[in-house]
Amino acid sequence: MWYLKLILILIFIIVLYQDYKDRLVYWFLYPIIGILAFVIQLYNVPMETALANFGFNLLFITIILGVSWLYIKFRKLDFFNAIGIGDILFFVFISFTFSIVSFLILFVFALLFSLILHFVLSNKKEQQTVPLAGYMSLFFGVIYVTSFFYNSPFLYAY
């Protein structure tokens, strides 16, 4: 299973590089992330549990995107100028990763990490976009690297 984690980490690095450099990521990398993460989860939990995790995680993502859409609509902004389609795809496919509680905690901390990292790296200049999928890829990549050294199903347990 370590080889799947290694491939997943490499894909996270590619997403980080592409998103940070060009703000464009090859779309097919997102489904690969979802498939690899789901297979890794299946190694630790039964299929029914993994599908339930995915369902609840996707519901959480839908709620987050719905609230974001309402906020953007209230502020009279354009939704796709506020969040990229690549970020939405990343959110959807990253929902295949962990158990519900672990995902909720890690997703919120990934968003906070992205915000802090963007403020640190922005160097006081006004940037139009944030490489959110790239920063979150870095965060989740570090989580998977950590799981190499701490071989426990704690990310998939409740």
**pLDDT value at position 1?**
78
Q: How far apart are CA 78 and CA 83, in angstroms?
A: 9
**pLDDT value at position 73?**
87
Return the structure tokens found at 81: 């100028």
Assess whether pLDDT exceeds 80 at residue 125.
no
Q: How far apart are CA 143 and CA 9, in angstroms?
A: 9
**pLDDT value at position 88?**
93
pTM for the predicted model, two decimal places? 0.90
What is the percentage of the chain residues whose pLDDT exceeds 70? 96
End-to-end, the C-alpha distance of the chain in Å comes to: 21
**pLDDT value at position 123?**
74
Quick count: other Cβ atoms within 10 Å of Cβ 76?
6
CB-neighbour burial class of residue 19 (10 A; exposed 0-12, middle 13-18, buried 19+): buried
On average, the pLDDT of the chain sits at 90
